[in-house]
Amino acid sequence: MTFISFPSEIPVEIIRPPQDVFEPPGSDIVFEVELNKDRVEVKWMRNNMIIVQGDKYQMISEGKIHRLQVCEIRPRDQGEYRIVAKDKDARAKLELAGKSSLSDSSYKFLQFFFT
């Protein structure tokens, strides 16, 4: 009896995970991920809910690179974003950057005074 050996499929790996984002309200932000293989179907999630493409979210896949753009971020957009590719996943956080209550000149004065 002869057995034919088929090469096993290379497992999906996340080469470059998404990075945490800290941007002011109203910004458009992008999470970017690189996988080790082309043409892998991915899902994006926010706080464990599947994201659907629309005016708020744009999903772009180009070869091994997968991007999620979140348009005009608001406080409700903060949280954990996750990409799932086969049995692998990676996470990143989106937080809004608030404006400091100190003006630049006040900050410089305090920095000088207390250092």
Q: Which residue has the tokens 């599947």?
A: 50
- Note whether 45 and 82 are within 8 A (CB): yes
Output the pLDDT for position 16: 98
pTM of the model: 0.78
Joined tokens for residue 29: 């932000």
Q: Find, among 34, 17, 19, 22, the residue nearest to 77 by Cα.
A: 22
Rounded to whole angstroms, how far apart are CA atoms 75 and 25? 7
Give dist(CA 80, CA 26) in Å, integer.
Answer: 18
Residue (of 67, 83, 63) closest to 31 by Cα position: 67
Walk me through the domains of the chain, giving residue ranges and CATH numbers: 14-99 (2.60.40.10)
Q: What is the pLDDT of residue 68?
A: 98
Q: What pLDDT, on a 0 to 100 scale, did the predictor assign at position 5? A: 57
Provide the residue-wise pLDDT of the chain in tens; the chain has 115 residues.
566 656 667 899 999 999 999 999 999 999 999 999 999 999 999 999 999 999 999 999 999 999 999 999 999 999 999 999 999 999 999 999 975 444 444 445 545 545 5
